[in-house]
Amino acid sequence: MRSISQLCILRVFGANRRCQPGKCKYFGSSSPTVSMMRLTTATGLRRIGRSLSDQTRRLEMNMAVNEAASLGSAIKDVASSSKSVLVEASVQTCDDGSTPVVILSPDDAVRVIRALAPRIIYLVEQVFDLAGEIEAACDELEDLGVDRSPDPLKATQRRFAAYDGQIGATIASFMIDGALHTAVSTAIWHDEFGDAVEAILEDARERANAGQVSKSSEKTKAIERKALVLLKHPSFNHGRVSFDKRMALAETLFQDCDPHTLSEITRRAENLFWLEQSGVKLDGI
């Protein structure tokens, strides 16, 4: 039986011919058909190599995933057999040496307390003080310089009036094995109230910022107008001029302005003068 290296299969005019090296006029020739066979064979080997490499990588990835799953499964089995309390949570630590903290779900907190019975449990039940919450929102609105009691805030107060005096949030904390365990639970309506108030405050902040931009724009325009007045005054370029002399002139012309604003007016007037001398046509001159 001949080996693959001893035989070649050529498809000529739709038929297969089997030849021996040295006896076949096609074997070892520079025929395009034979060249294509060699190219196809080499390409196929490379593809097989890549396929095997891809399979190896996928196998390695599956093994990594399986190792992670195996660890979790092993921990669960050991925890079950040793009667340990298994909690789906991570310990949060800080570099400052503070006490490690574990954040638990309400159900896990109850389960851990029942199983390990910590000696001290710190419990805070926050009573919803509607009037106090509204007053705090009004104070922030007043600090922003807007209406301290807008209609949306009044509507929010009416909407949540039925929950006034109820428990809105509960915080439980306890120490186990040197770590502080904490669980927090809030009522749905309490979260909705907070979202509604925050939306009102955010809208007020945006309006306040827009008002500040508008005021800044108005101030810039006022400085521009005064700078043009200063520039056109005959004394602006009279004699040996300097910034201090020009600012003194501005102080005489605009007695209601503070020193900082006078400095801005003078600086702007000097810039406008330079532009004018450079041949730039200025509006208002």
pLDDT at 237: 83
- C-alpha to C-alpha distance for 176 and 118, rounded to whole angstroms: 7
Average pLDDT over residues 153-168: 95
pLDDT at 107: 94
Of 33-42, 71-80, 186-195, 269-278, minimum mean pLDDT range: 33-42
CA atoms within 13 A on the CB side of 174: 19
Of 37-46, 168-177, 223-232, 256-265, minimum mean pLDDT range: 37-46
- pLDDT tens column, 91-133: 888 778 789 999 999 999 999 999 999 999 999 999 999 999 9
- State the chain's maximal CA–CA distance in angstroms: 117
pLDDT at 83: 85
Mean pLDDT of the chain: 80
Task: For residue 205, give the H/E element and its range.
Answer: helix 188-232
Place of tokens 């593809």: 47
Confidence band of 46 (pLDDT split at 50, 70, 90):
low
pLDDT at 173: 97
- Please say if the pLDDT value at position 80 is more than 90: no
Measuring CA to CA, which residue among 236, 268, 276 is closest to residue 253? 236
Measuring CA to CA, which residue among 24, 203, 43 is closest to residue 16? 24
- Please say if the pLDDT value at position 18 is more than 70: no
Place of tokens 């399986």: 66
Which amino acid, 10? L
Place of tokens 């449990």: 121
Task: Report the percent of the chain where pLDDT is more than 90.
Answer: 32
pLDDT at 16: 46
pLDDT at 26: 42
Average pLDDT over residues 223-235: 89
- C-alpha to C-alpha distance for 205 and 198, rounded to whole angstroms: 10
pLDDT at 113: 96
Distances (CA, A) of 264 to 211, 233, 252, 274, 281: 22, 17, 15, 15, 21
pLDDT at 123: 96
Average pLDDT over residues 272-281: 76
Distances (CA, A) of 8 to 11, 44, 112, 185, 259: 10, 16, 75, 78, 100
pLDDT at 157: 94
pLDDT at 60: 66
pLDDT at 28: 46
- C-alpha to C-alpha distance for 283 and 228, rounded to whole angstroms: 9
Average pLDDT over residues 201-226: 80
Residue with the bigger pLDDT between 162 and 3: it is 162
Query: Hey, which of 149-153, 182-186, 204-208 has the most confident mean pLDDT?
Result: 182-186
